[in-house]
Structure 1
């Protein structure tokens, strides 16, 4: 199984800024390597976040590019931030696409999501997640220990909604998901309860797209990740889509189309208050559990 550290947004920010500073000075990668007695491959790895940049190396690059004062201090602070390990790095057997996605998701300021097949991972209970992940076993052998680890990872991802500066989560969910059985009635009942509780958080907004609503946008499920500026270094929005076999990051030039698609879905969806009422109705009619 291929693995990856999953370079963080901080690492990617630093890499992109170092590349921009080199280009602004008019240096090629070969010229930087020659001046610092490095290999050209090392320069490339640093600028593409394929390796963690040592603080000493960043200092040498900034000196070469004549960066000083507050800007120098700011980028060194970013380099220190980039050197911090992400929690997902403890799960070294994670597939590379999953590690990459978690690294990005963990630093997103806002997540806009459209989901038509299942409850989004950030809103799943442990039992619901267990059944979803076990379903992969039908097409790809996954031992029980690996399933358990994947569930643990999914639950840990949810911390971004509860931290001191929580991520804002804006979800539009196809109403059909509420009645699509995952596990038994108890699992579904608890899942809808959990969604209701999580949506009480001020940073979480859930809206249902009714089955009888006008579907102006027939779009596959997608996740739009937006990142706040840090150390005066911006990072582009990223869209993630996936299928059974492919985890895909959409080209930067197309992210605006997904933002428009999400805005359209929001417009046709129930309000958060109406959504809550509908979830209660489905919980009590479809997934009623005797006390």
Structure 2
């Protein structure tokens, strides 16, 4: 059975009620993202996490770009990650800095805007193998080579959400991109089974598969979402929902819907293409309200 992701179906999976609780009660999101070339990914993902309702935000980014990120997102605590000679994050020292923080985080995002290659794979592996009990969102460069370390993902017992596009999924599964594009649902099912993770297979239509094989489908959004930084926002929304205590598959479904409907609303108000990824998070609080009160 496939669940169509719509406002009506999501009302059957209500988000945690914030009540009158403190910001600590809504959880702290730790966003490990960005690079020298793409520092904005951390800003987009971090802002989206807060807009999705996370109570606190920590952003971890290369030291050279950290001051700029701190000014761009004054609500965040920004952790400077030491850089190697090439200007990129030194994954060995970064793991030492980050592992204690993962233990205090309610949800962790790794990979958005990070540089692909062995250092990011090594940092991802170190964080997955660490003591944190929080759920993870793995995006972009952190997905590369993930199937080669499947045990580390499986050990987290379904508390990992992957957000690949077709190219990232192909590199994870070791197949051609064309094969993923021809049958994205089959690719998502294979990855979910192999890794024991929730897989969000992004594309013109999005498929979500959880480790038990439950399937969700979303066909909305619009062409305007195919823009730089859009995936960083999606990953940030999901980690923000996880920080609030939403279950992984439900956080993925809500995240995909909120991201897609934000694109739809901006398409109506701005035009079908040309709106920016940075504009998406601002639509999220209103969308959550509208789903909850039945006006959407």
Calculate the TM-score normalised by the size of structure 2.
Answer: 0.28
Query: Looking at CA atoms only, which structure, 1 or 2, has the larger radius of gyration?
Result: 1
Q: Which has the higher helix share?
A: 1
